[in-house]
A and B are shown apart, each in its own frame.
Chain A
Amino acid sequence: MQATRRLILKAAVAGAALLSLPRTLLAWPKAAFESDSTDGAMKALFGATDATASDAVTLTAPDIAENGAVVPITVSTTLEGAESIGLIVSENPSPLVASFDLTSESVPEVSTRIKMGKTSDVVAVVKANGKLYSATKNVKVTIGGCGG
C-alpha cells in the first residue's frame, strides 16, 4: 500500500517538475559538462575544438591559488558580437566549469569563483561571429578544491 502510494507520489512529483521546468533548463548543455576532456567539452558546447588564441580575450586569474576551492576568475573580451563565453579547467575531472550566454545588452565581462582540483591551465573561450577565440593561463594550486 505504502509502496504504491510512494510510487504515485513520485510520478506526480516528477510530472509536476517536468511541467514546471523553465524552458531554459532544457538548454543546459549536459554532455559538455559531463565530458572528461577539454576537447570533448569544447565540441559538445561549441561544436568545434579549434579556438584561436587571441589578445582580444582577457582572462584574469591568480598565478598561484592557495585554496583550490575558491579561485577568482574574470573573463572579458573586446571582440564585437561576442555570443558566449566558456570557462574550462583542463585538469579538472570534468573540465567545463561554466558557460555564459550573452545577449545584445550584455557587457562581455563575467566574474565568478571556481574550484580547481590541482594545478592546471584555465582556458577562457569566447564565441564571436561563429568563431572561437581563447586565452589560457596556468594557475598553480597549493591545496586542491575538489574535496574527498
Chain B
Amino acid sequence: MASIRVKASVKDGVAEVKCLMQHEMETGTRKDSKTGELVPAHYITEVVAKHNGKVVMQANWGPAVSKNPYFAFAFKDAKAGDTLEISWVDNKGETASTETSLG
C-alpha cells in the first residue's frame, strides 16, 4: 500500500524535510520477465508539500524518478509543532498523503 515516510527537523527557522515514498515508478518501457509484455507506466506525477496548509514546495515528476522515491527539500519560516502535509498523485489518479508535525 501506498505510504509516505517523512522526517522533518527545524533548525533556526528552517525545516529540513526528507521523504521516502512507496511507489513502483514503472516507466512503461520495462517488459515483464515472465510474459514478455510491457508493464504499463505507473508513476507519481506530482508531490505537494504544505506547511500549516500553505504550499511550500511542489514537484512534478516523470517516470525517471527512482522506484520508492526519495525527496529532500527545505523551507523557511518554520517552527517546532507546525504541521507539514506531504501528498502525491500518480498517473493513474491514485493518491497518498501524510501529515506530521515538525520536530
Contact = CB atoms under 8 A, between A and B. Distances in A.
Interface of A: 17, 21-22, 24-25, 27-29, 33, 69-72, 74, 89, 92-94, 96-103, 105-107, 109-116, 145-148
Given A28-B60, A93-B29, A114 B74 contact: no
Given A98-B59, A99-B59, A89 B64 contact: yes
A147 B71 CA distance: 22
B65 A113 contact: yes
Interface of B: 14, 27, 29-31, 45-46, 48, 51, 54-67, 69-77, 89, 93
B58 A94 contact: no
Contacts of A96: 62, 64
Given A25-B45, A146-B29, A17 B93 contact: yes
Contacts of A70: 66-67
Contacts, number: 120
A94 B64 contact: yes
B30 A148 contact: yes
A41 B27 CA distance: 17
30 contacts: A22-B48, A24-B58, A25-B45, A25-B89, A28-B60, A29-B60, A33-B60, A33-B62, A70-B66, A74-B72, A89-B64, A93-B29, A94-B62, A94-B63, A97-B62, A98-B60, A98-B64, A100-B57, A100-B73, A103-B56, A103-B57, A103-B58, A103-B75, A106-B56, A110-B71, A111-B71, A112-B66, A112-B71, A116-B64, A146-B27
